[in-house]
Chains A and B, each alone.
Chain A
Amino acid sequence: MRQLRAWLLRLVGIFTPEHREQDLAAEIESHLALHFDDNVRSGMSPDEARRQALIRLGGVEQVKESYRERRGLPALETLMQDVRYGFRMLRKNPGFTILAVLTLALGIGANTTIFSWINSTLLNPIPGARQTSGIVSLTLGGTVEDPGQFSYPDYLDLREGSRSFAGLMAFAFRTLDLTGTGKPERLWAAAVSANYFDVFRVRPILGRGFVPAEDQKSGGAPVAVLNYGLWQRRFGGDPAIIGRTIFLNKHPYTVIGVAPAAFQGTMTGLRADLWVPVVMEREVISNWDWLHDRGDHELMMQGRLKPGVPIEQARQEMNALMQRLEDRYPDSHFSHKDVQLYPLWRAPNGANAYFYILLPMLMAIAGVVLLLACANVANLLLVRSVSRRREIAVRLSIGAGRRRIVRQLLVESLLLALAGGAVAMLITACSPRMFADFLPPTGFPIVLDVHPDRGVLLVALILSIVTGVVFGTLPAVRASRLSPGSVLKEEGGGASGGRSRARLTSAMVLAQLALSLLLLVAAGLFIRGFRRAQRFDPGFNPEHVLLASFDLFPAGYHGTQGLEFERQLLTKINALPGVSLATLADAIPLGFVRNMEMVKLDGYVPQAREAMDIRSAQVGPDYLRTMEIPLVEGREFTMDDTGGSQPVAMVNQALVDRYWPHQDAIGKRVWAQGHWSTIVGVVRNSDYDQLGESPRPFLYMPIFQDYTSHPIIHVRVAGDPLAFVPALEKTIHELNADLPVFDEDSLASRVQVASANLRLAGAFVGAFGLLALVLATVGIYGVIAYGARQRTREIGIRMALGADRQDVMRLVLGQGLRLTVAGLALGLGLSLVLTRFLRSELFGISATDPLTFAGVAVCLGAVALAACYVPARRAVRVEPTIALRQQ
């Protein structure tokens, strides 16, 4: 404590007011006077008495100095001195300062921006939830891009049997119509197990979450928890909402709680407007009893591991439990599926499925940008240190230590870096912060907002300091190493630049060229990939197709009645002017909804543990012609393929190749949805989940064979699809004036959503690439121009001795050319090694795409040569007489 008190006082002592200095002088003076009196009393002459007093004191100034050192904190004081001096030096040279700060700001800003994204996705996957690091997402079979889900009975058994989890919850994403108050509204709901909020440790800000009793009886818990946003928007934030009745799909529900504002659901980036118990599924959500069907995989599972339980242990336990279920219920588990556990930062459901690959990749690229910025500023500093040689030599010769000089220069670097960091935070704050910015407007409940928080600020600070040390150390150490004598004697820095300095700056240019090339190649690849994705042939024609949805279930239609409505509607739409074809389907390609069917195939014997889940869709008559997907053989569905006719199906080429290679698929049978269907058509492969995916087996079932209450209308029209919306709505409302129509959108813009991650990557990498080009150009120009200026005298001598302009031009250009070629070669090598890590994001563009490599190399080479040419021209224009006189 005493120590601390002393330190604080010393800290205050740094800012010594004048009177304390006077106080010290007075005390010394009084000491001398007292001593003088004593000496005189003991018989000395006054002169001698004063002299002795001074001798015994040991020098007035020394005493004062040691007193002052004790009064303040000398180390801190010199640091403050360095800072003040640093500021002065930076102010004296505003051009340099602005250039350096801007360069650093761009470099650091690239990193803080990407980090702010990582911070809001990978590091904080579920806003509003607590301690999400212990939570895992579970999948059953399938792949990372296409994760399999669980059936409700299996979920209950797994939850019951598991010892690894503190809580294991399940949920399904659903759409519901909110009616009763004002305009009907379609909401995104999560149908959840009752422990949903507990597992994520989310406590409603109003009311309560679900209780175990609300998990028990099918249809027995008509209660709902509202999203904060919905509560504010729809109910005006009314605190009396708890206990009120709302109508979902025309069914009364009691509001029991309001979730905290931050909490949007448990899928990163997706919003749930409200939560209802999953046991309500049959009664009001889908009119479909899958709660008792082990073969119906509708649920996503997430669980919180018990403290100390490693993820691998939980995985083994889950697989053992699943194996037992498969053995006990072979009818509903006729293929084996592995249970996989993923931490939330790379959970396959939600936005992190994309981000966990993309963002680290972008971070690495941003890191290269920062390195480039560092190289640039280090170069600037080196160049500047030459013009400060004299100043440093003077300071060295009057006694400054080399460490002190290094420290002084480092402090200047840190000041630059911190200023850069501050501007970087501004850049981050202004950068696109919403994932939605990268998407065309859609009905999807995407909520991914990036808020630069304290974590980002901290990273910016650390990054600035590290950056300052990285680019500042080398120039500082070099500057302090000069010998003062020779510098001060030197008239004008020698005829040419020093050999070792030339080597160092050359190395810098080399590094800059190589790094810029790497960045530009990466940017080029991304942009090419993006353009490819834009023009990519998904296997169907997304142009001129209008999509629209309606849901007959909440409107009160059932079975035959609904089917009849859909058939009538289709006929009516097809008769509209401007419509070339219309059809229905239960899903759109490249949408987020994926249907899987567990199938058996005629004559195909699954291997042990082989998963027989196949992507499927229910489609209407003329689906293939509407979508312009070519039929390979056979026929497509017609109005006559109904529940009463012989069950039929179509498969794609990939399914035939995989399960019936070299066989005729027509006439074979497939077992799906509880019955056998005969294959009547083979369809060309198209993209179902992602653009540019590898072909995967796909099964088409007729939509009129099994009733679907919420189909999506697909209409191929002439001209702009969205212009057709009023006509379509009018047609629907002629059949039922109260039926809400929603999600009207063009298929083309839905396809664009599928490339949103690439759009995001393209935006950032493109910006980084541009940045790299600017940094490289400025850097190369600066160094070459500086080199040429340093050599003005040498050039003057050469010209005075008879060299003509061309020789000199060749000299200066040759130097630049050699550097450029070497730098480009280095960069190409580096890129060849490193770009392979980008492969997964490139939509089939080769990671060593020759066009990109060659294009970038030529472009950068041209820029570098231009950067050499300007200074070279200036060099030869100089009059020898002037050059010789120049210092």
Chain B
Amino acid sequence: MPEKADVWQGTLALMILKTLESMGSLHGYGIARRIEQTSGDRLSVNYGTIYPALLKLEQEGYIGSEWGVSDNKRKAKYYRLTRAGRKQVEREAREWERTTAILARFLAPEERS
């Protein structure tokens, strides 16, 4: 079994937002599973941390929630992006790309003439 990486601090929010952006509305368990799947099972989400993160996003107004019924007839709370959330996804994604691009330059083999 390959070692799974933990979710880095601060990236969980972006993953949740991105997941909701591609999946529409989804419940907490579903979001967690989806993140794991998207990572090709290389990430291990501590399911318990999903809920405070969801609450934070909701307080910040990026997502909304309502109770619904799942495919297999379970009652579940469904989350979806708000308009502000959509903008936030873009912003954070851009931010993140820039960060990784900068980091990539540091990690790339030095090219000196």
Q: Most B CB atoms within 10 A — which of A3, A10, A27?
A: A27
Q: Is the CB of A34 within 8 A of B55?
A: no
Which chain B residue lies CB-closest to A7? B59
Write the nearest CB–CB distance from A843 to chain B, whole angstroms: 69
Interface check B27, CB cutoff 8 A: yes
Q: Which of B30, B33, B52, B62 contacts A66 (CB 8 A)?
A: B52
Q: Is the CB of A71 within 8 A of B55?
A: yes
B21-58 contact mask (Cβ, 8 Å, vs A): 1 or 0: 00000011110010000000000001111011001100
Q: Which of B28, B47, B59 contacts A6 (CB 8 A)?
A: B59
Write the nearest CB–CB distance from A860 to chain B, whole angstroms: 61
Interface check B74, CB cutoff 8 A: yes
Q: Is the CB of B56 within 8 A of A70?
A: yes
Interface check A143, CB cutoff 8 A: no
Q: Is the CB of B51 within 8 A of A34?
A: no
Q: Is the CB of A34 within 8 A of B30?
A: yes
Interface check B90, CB cutoff 8 A: no
Task: Tell me the bound Cα distance from A31 to B74 in angstroms.
Answer: 9
Interface check A324, CB cutoff 8 A: no
In the assembled complex, which residues on chain B have CB atoms less than 8 Å from the CB atom of A56? 46-47
In the assembled complex, which residues on chain A have CB atoms less than 8 Å from the CB atom of B28? 27, 31
In the assembled complex, which residues on chain A have CB atoms less than 8 Å from the CB atom of B33? 38
Task: Tell me the bound Cα distance from A63 to B27 in angstroms.
Answer: 16
Task: Tell me the bound Cα distance from A62 to B27 in angstroms.
Answer: 20
Task: Tell me the bound Cα distance from A9 to B77 in angstroms.
Answer: 20
In the assembled complex, which residues on chain B have CB atoms less than 8 Å from the CB atom of A38? 33
Interface check A33, CB cutoff 8 A: yes
Tell me the chain A residues, 2-46 only, with Cβ under 8 Å from chain B: 2-3, 5-6, 9-10, 23-24, 26-28, 30-31, 33-35, 37-38
Tell me the chain A residues, 32-74 only, with Cβ under 8 Å from chain B: 33-35, 37-38, 56-59, 62-63, 66-67, 69-71
Task: Tell me the bound Cα distance from A31 to B84 in angstroms.
Answer: 26
Quick one: given A37-B72, A70-B52, A70-B55, are A31 and B47 in contact (CB under 8 Å)? yes
Interface check B75, CB cutoff 8 A: yes
Task: Tell me the bound Cα distance from A62 to B76 in angstroms.
Answer: 20
Q: Is the CB of B48 within 8 A of A57?
A: yes
Q: Is the CB of A66 within 8 A of B48?
A: yes
In the assembled complex, which residues on chain A have CB atoms less than 8 Å from the CB atom of B62? 2
Which chain B residue lies CB-closest to A10? B59
Q: Is the CB of B59 within 8 A of A34?
A: no
Which chain B residue lies CB-closest to A41? B72
Task: Tell me the bound Cα distance from A71 to B52 in angstroms.
Answer: 8
Q: Which of A9, A10, A63 contacts B51 (CB 8 A)?
A: A63
Q: Which of A5, A26, A30 contacts B59 (CB 8 A)?
A: A5
Q: Is the CB of A33 within 8 A of B74?
A: yes
In the assembled complex, which residues on chain A have CB atoms less than 8 Å from the CB atom of B47? 31, 35, 56-58
Interface check B97, CB cutoff 8 A: no
In the assembled complex, which residues on chain A have CB atoms less than 8 Å from the CB atom of B27? 30-31, 34
Interface check B70, CB cutoff 8 A: yes
Task: Tell me the bound Cα distance from A9 to B62 in angstroms.
Answer: 14
Which chain A residue lies CB-closest to B33? A38
Which chain A residue lies CB-closest to B46? A58
Task: Tell me the bound Cα distance from A693 to B35 in angstroms.
Answer: 92
Write the nearest CB–CB distance from A6 to chain B, whole angstroms: 4
Q: Which of A2, A24, A37, A66 contacts B60 (CB 8 A)?
A: A2
Task: Tell me the bound Cα distance from A23 to B65 in angstroms.
Answer: 12
Q: Is the CB of A31 within 8 A of B29?
A: yes
B62-97 contact mask (Cβ, 8 Å, vs A): 1 or 0: 100000001010111100000010000000000000
Write the nearest CB–CB distance from A425 to chain B, whole angstroms: 39
Q: Is the CB of B55 within 8 A of A37?
A: no
In the assembled complex, which residues on chain B have CB atoms less than 8 Å from the CB atom of A26? 75, 77
Which chain B residue lies CB-closest to A34? B29
Q: Is the CB of A30 within 8 A of B51?
A: no
In the assembled complex, which residues on chain B have CB atoms less than 8 Å from the CB atom of A67? 51-52, 55
Q: Most B CB atoms within 10 A — which of A5, A9, A31, A37?
A: A31
Task: Tell me the bound Cα distance from A57 to B44 in angstroms.
Answer: 12
Write the nearest CB–CB distance from A16 to chain B, whole angstroms: 12
Task: Tell me the bound Cα distance from A37 to B74 in angstroms.
Answer: 10
A621-656 contact mask (Cβ, 8 Å, vs B): 1 or 0: 000000000000000000000000000000000000
Task: Tell me the bound Cα distance from A56 to B36 in angstroms.
Answer: 13
Q: Is the CB of B51 within 8 A of A6?
A: no
Q: Most A CB atoms within 10 A — which of B28, B46, B48, B60?
A: B48
In the assembled complex, which residues on chain B have CB atoms less than 8 Å from the CB atom of A59? 48
Task: Tell me the bound Cα distance from A57 to B47 in angstroms.
Answer: 5
Which chain A residue lies CB-closest to B62? A2
Task: Tell me the bound Cα distance from A23 to B33 in angstroms.
Answer: 22
Task: Tell me the bound Cα distance from A170 to B75 in angstroms.
Answer: 86
Q: Is the CB of A30 within 8 A of B77?
A: yes
Write the nearest CB–CB distance from A782 to chain B, whole angstroms: 51
Q: Is the CB of A63 within 8 A of B59?
A: no
Task: Tell me the bound Cα distance from A66 to B47 in angstroms.
Answer: 12
Which chain B residue lies CB-closest to A33? B74
In the assembled complex, which residues on chain B have CB atoms less than 8 Å from the CB atom of A28? 51
In the assembled complex, which residues on chain B have CB atoms less than 8 Å from the CB atom of A71? 55
Write the nearest CB–CB distance from B25 to chain A, whole angstroms: 14
Task: Tell me the bound Cα distance from A10 to B59 in angstroms.
Answer: 8
Q: Is the CB of A34 within 8 A of B61?
A: no
Quick one: given A6-B60, A10-B59, A70-B56, are A27 and B77 in contact (CB under 8 Å)? yes
Which chain B residue lies CB-closest to A55? B47
A58-92 contact mask (Cβ, 8 Å, vs B): 1 or 0: 11001100110111000000000000000000000
Task: Tell me the bound Cα distance from A23 to B56 in angstroms.
Answer: 16
Which chain B residue lies CB-closest to A6? B59
In the assembled complex, which residues on chain B have CB atoms less than 8 Å from the CB atom of A2? 60-62, 84
Write the nearest CB–CB distance from A53 to chain B, whole angstroms: 8
In the assembled complex, which residues on chain B have CB atoms less than 8 Å from the CB atom of A30? 27, 29, 74-77
Write the nearest CB–CB distance from A737 to chain B, whole angstroms: 87
Write the nearest CB–CB distance from B93 to chain A, whole angstroms: 17
Which chain B residue lies CB-closest to A38? B33
Q: Is the CB of A58 within 8 A of B48?
A: yes
In the assembled complex, which residues on chain B have CB atoms less than 8 Å from the CB atom of A3? 60
Which chain B residue lies CB-closest to A32? B29
Which chain A residue lies CB-closest to B61? A5
In the assembled complex, which residues on chain A have CB atoms less than 8 Å from the CB atom of B56? 6, 70
In the assembled complex, which residues on chain A have CB atoms less than 8 Å from the CB atom of B48? 57-59, 62-63, 66
Write the nearest CB–CB distance from A418 to chain B, whole angstroms: 32
**CB-defined A-B contacts under 8 Å, sample of 22:** A3-B60, A6-B60, A24-B51, A26-B77, A27-B51, A31-B28, A31-B76, A34-B70, A35-B29, A37-B74, A38-B33, A57-B48, A58-B47, A62-B48, A66-B51, A66-B52, A67-B51, A67-B52, A67-B55, A69-B52, A70-B52, A70-B55
A residues at B contact (CB < 8 Å): 2-3, 5-6, 9-10, 23-24, 26-28, 30-31, 33-35, 37-38, 56-59, 62-63, 66-67, 69-71
Beyond known contacts A31-B29, A31-B47, A63-B51: 19 more, CB 8 A cutoff: A2-B61, A2-B62, A5-B61, A9-B59, A23-B77, A24-B51, A28-B51, A30-B29, A30-B74, A31-B51, A34-B29, A34-B74, A56-B47, A57-B48, A58-B46, A58-B48, A62-B48, A67-B51, A70-B59
B residues at A contact (CB < 8 Å): 27-30, 33, 46-49, 51-52, 55-56, 59-62, 70, 72, 74-77, 84
